[in-house]
Amino acid sequence: MPHAAIAKDNVAVITGGASGIGFAAATAFARAGMKVCIADVDEPRLADAATKLSSVTSAVDVMTFAVDVSNAESLAELERAVRERFGGTDVLMNNAGIQPGSTLFGEPDHWQRIIAVNMWGIINGSRIFAPNMIARGKCGLIINTGSKQGITTPPGDPAYNVSKAGVKAFTEALQHELRNTKDRRVTAHLLIPGFVFTGLTAKGRTEKPAGAWTPEQTVDFMLARLEAGDFYILCPDNDVPRALDEKRMLWAAGDIVENRPPLSRWHPDYADAFRKFVEGE
């Protein structure tokens, strides 16, 4: 049985919904008989996505909305528009994100945009939608798209890592708040994709690398783990076993507990120690 919020005639809102994981989720929700609002900053892509969804569900059950998730008022307009069209929201998927690459001492405007979209977009969406979702008195879901990089924080893209680490911390706080509300019918969940082949990660490639998942695989896994009640929805990769992801995360915590240098798992002086840790020696 799917999660109770994913049901015929319920309403799903997906930011970053015109492509990638967001569009795959919108398609899955539509196939479940839900009314779907796909929100995205790219209006031509929104129109194309709505046309594609019309092959899955009735056009009257599909809504599109141009939104800049970094702007709280833009998201408030989205929430109001969904209530006016469909009566309210049962599933909110805060999925919009960007990964243009960053350097530590790069342009501050670049950093601010990444954090504004990736982190503030999720904070804004959750804070604006959650009160009315709770007031509906129905089972509801808030799904925030994080990243393994927000947990293992590898070197090379610090602004993205900071934004996704913030998403993890915020979603944990959100779920704590929700489980202490009356009736506790709305829950938050952190989607932690691995390597997913989307426009965000393609970087000029036209064919999916063997190690990557498709957006559809990611959403199928997400739905299964929502049904199981997971808060942390940690997606494996085709070429990275879940056990290795777990070891990387545990080693990262060990940097603090054992007072190792930050990111020691990528430090050449600790290469052999990390290998032995991963292999259980």
What domains lie within the chain, and their CATH numbers? Answer: 11-239 (3.40.50.720), 241-280 (no CATH)
Q: Convert the pLDDT of each residue in 151-194 to its tens digit.
A: 989 898 999 999 999 999 999 999 999 999 988 899 999 999 98
pLDDT class of 202 with cuts at 50, 70, 90: low
Mean pLDDT of 198-223: 76
Please provide the average confidence, as pLDDT, over all residues in the chain. 92
User: What was the pLDDT predicted at 280?
Assistant: 83
Buried b (16+ CB within 10 A) or exposed e, 119-157: bbbbbbbbebbbeebbebebbbbbbbbbbbbbbbbeeeb
How does pLDDT run across 118-143, given as a tens digit for each residue? 999 999 999 999 999 999 999 999 99
Confidence at residue 194, expressed as pLDDT on a 0 to 100 scale: 87
Q: Report pLDDT for 231.
A: 97
Q: Which residues contact 163 (CB under 8 A, 6 or more apart)?
A: 97, 114, 115, 117, 118, 119, 150
Whole-prediction pTM value? 0.93
For the segment 74-116, what is each residue's pLDDT rounded down to a tens digit?
999 999 999 999 999 999 999 999 998 898 998 889 999 999 9
Instruction: Please tell me the least confidently modeled range out of 3-17, 147-161, 235-249.
Output: 235-249
Indicate if 160 belongs to the active site: yes
Phi, psi of 103 (to 5 degrees): -125, 155
Q: Which of 129, 160, 197, 213 is catalytic?
A: 160
